[in-house]
Amino acid sequence: MPIKSIDIIKKGTDEIIGEDLLVKKLNSGKPLIIKAGFDPTAPDLHLGHTILLNKLKQFQDLGHKIIFLIGDFTATIGDPTGKTELRPSLSMEQVAENAETYKSQVFKLLDAKKTLIKFNSEWLSNLSAADLIEIIGSYSVARMLERDDFKKRFKSNKNISIKEFIYPILQGYDSVVLNADVEIGGTDQKFNLLMGRYLQSLKNENNEDVKQVVITLPLLEGLDGVKKMSKSLSNYIAIDDLPSEIFGKIMSISDDLMWRYYELLSEIDHKELGKLKKASNENKLNPRDLKMDLGVEIVSKFYSHEEAKKAKEEFKSIFQQNKIPENIETIDVDPMPLPNLLKHVGLAPSTSEARRLIGQKALKIDDHVVDSIDYELKKGSYILKLGKKKFAQVNVKK
C-alpha cells in the first residue's frame, strides 16, 4: 500500500521536500493531515487551482484527512508572492463573500463528507500582541529578504510593508495550529510552505518527525500561454463557467499550450500522451480534435459527460457551421452608444477595444456588418456577433 501510495502522490509533482519522512509517515498506517490553503482574494476558483485540488483528491482517495484552509485572515493582508509592489488590502466583507463561493465550488472535485473546511481567522484573529511578537520574532529580516520578490523590491526602493513580512510567518503558523503532516502548494509558494516546517520544528524542539512534508506543484499558464492563470490577468477559466464557456476557452488556446494543459489537467497517462504527440507531429491527428477531446474531459470534471458532449456539439455548430447558440441569453438594455453596448454585454473588454473592432468590420448585427461607431440601435431585439466566437442577444428598450 505505501509504495503504491507514494507513486500516486509523486505523480505530477514538481518537488517533494521531506520525501523520506513522507514514506515514514505513510508506513505508520495513520491517516495523515493534508493541508492546502487558499486566500479568497477573488470570487472564483479556476483551472489553475484544480491542479492542487486534484492532488488533494488523490490523498483523500487514499484515506487521508483533507483540510481545505480558507485564508480569510491572511487574505486581508495579501500574499506578496511574486508581486512587484504592495497589494491593496481587501475588506473582511469582500473576503467573506469570496470565501462563500470557494466553499460551494471546491466540492465539485472533493468529497464534501471527507473534507474539513477551516478558516484561519479562527486562531489568527485571537492572537494577542504578545503572541504575535513571539511568533514573528523567530524569523529575521535578513532571511526574509532572501526571497526574490522582496529582494527585487528592496533593491529598487519599492515599498515593502511589515504586514507582507508577516504573511508567510502566519501561513506557517497555520501549519502549527493544524498539526499538518503535508502541505501542498504551487512552486511559487515554496518559501511560504517551508515556513511551516520551520515553525513546527521550533515548536517541537527540532523534532524532525513533526515537520510537515512540502509538496510543490507546477503552475498552470493562463490562456495567453505566458503568465500563470489568474483572474486579475483575465487569462483564466473559472470552474463555475458554463460548459460552453469552458469548452470554447479550451479551443482558443495555442497548440503548444494544449500539450501543457494535457500534462497538468488531463487524467491521461504519460505514455499515452507521448503517443498522441507523436501522432500529431506526424499529421495523423489534428490539434483541433485533440483540443475537443481535452475540452470534453475538462468540462466533465465539473458537469456531466452529457453536458460536456453538448458543449462540444454546440461549439461545432457555431464555429464550423456558423450557427447561433441555442440558449443565448437576452439582455435588456437602454439605448447607448454602440461601443458602450459591446462593453456592457461583455463582447469587448473596453469601449476603446470595441471601437477598434467595429472599425475592423468585426461586428455583425443580425448578420449585417456594421463598421460605424455611430450606428444606432432602435427599440427592438438584435443578435450581435463579434468575430467568429462571441454572440449576444439584446433587447433595446425605449
Residue 229 domain-assigned (yes or no): no
Q: Strands (DSSP E) along 65-176, which ranges?
A: 65-70, 115-119
- Here the CATH number for the domain that contains residue 247 is 1.10.240
Residue 172 domain-assigned (yes or no): yes
Q: Are residues 202 and 249 in the same domain?
A: no
DSSP designation for 238? B
Our count of domains for the chain comes to 3
Range of the domain at 341: 330-396
Residue 123 domain-assigned (yes or no): yes
Q: Are residues 255 and 129 in the same domain?
A: no
Do residues 237 and 229 touch, judged by C-beta distance below 8 A?
yes
Do residues 304 and 271 touch, judged by C-beta distance below 8 A?
no
pLDDT at 79: 61
Q: Are residues 342 and 314 in the same domain?
A: no
Q: Are residues 27 and 162 in the same domain?
A: yes
Residue 368 domain-assigned (yes or no): yes
pLDDT at 304: 95
pLDDT at 1: 46
Q: Are residues 369 and 299 in the same domain?
A: no
**What is the C-alpha separation between 13 and 288, in angstroms, rounded?**
28
pLDDT at 322: 64
pLDDT at 185: 95
Residue 356 domain-assigned (yes or no): yes
Q: Are residues 47 and 186 in the same domain?
A: yes
Q: Are residues 85 and 189 in the same domain?
A: yes
**Amino acid type, 30:** K
Q: How many CA atoms lie within 13 A of 344 on its CB side?
A: 17
pLDDT at 84: 47
Q: In this structure, what C-alpha cell is assigned to residue 199?
A: 515553525
Residue 137 domain-assigned (yes or no): yes
- Here the CATH number for the domain that contains residue 391 is 3.10.290.10
**Amino acid type, 326:** E
Residue 109 domain-assigned (yes or no): yes
Q: Are residues 296 and 149 in the same domain?
A: no
Instruction: Report which of 67, 66, 72 is spatially closest to residue 99, judged by C-alpha positions.
Output: 72
Q: Are residues 307 and 370 in the same domain?
A: no
**What is the C-alpha separation between 253 and 260, in angstroms, rounded?**
10
Which pLDDT tens digits describe the chain residue by residue (398 residues)? 445 788 889 988 999 999 999 999 999 989 999 999 998 877 789 999 999 999 999 999 999 999 999 988 888 876 656 554 555 667 778 888 888 888 889 999 999 999 999 999 999 999 999 998 988 887 777 777 777 777 788 787 887 777 778 888 999 999 999 999 999 999 988 888 999 998 998 888 767 788 999 999 999 999 888 889 987 777 889 999 999 889 988 988 888 899 999 999 998 888 999 999 999 888 888 888 999 999 999 999 999 999 999 999 988 887 666 667 766 777 889 899 999 999 999 898 888 889 989 998 899 887 778 888 988 888 777 889 888 778 888 888 86
Residue 226 domain-assigned (yes or no): no
Asked which of 295, 320, 345 is the last residue of a domain, the reply is: 320
Q: Are residues 392 and 372 in the same domain?
A: yes
Q: Are residues 271 and 366 in the same domain?
A: no
Asked which of 290, 320, 350 is the last residue of a domain, the reply is: 320
Q: Are residues 101 and 213 in the same domain?
A: yes
**What is the C-alpha separation between 109 and 60, in angstroms, rounded?**
11
Do residues 222 and 236 touch, judged by C-beta distance below 8 A?
yes
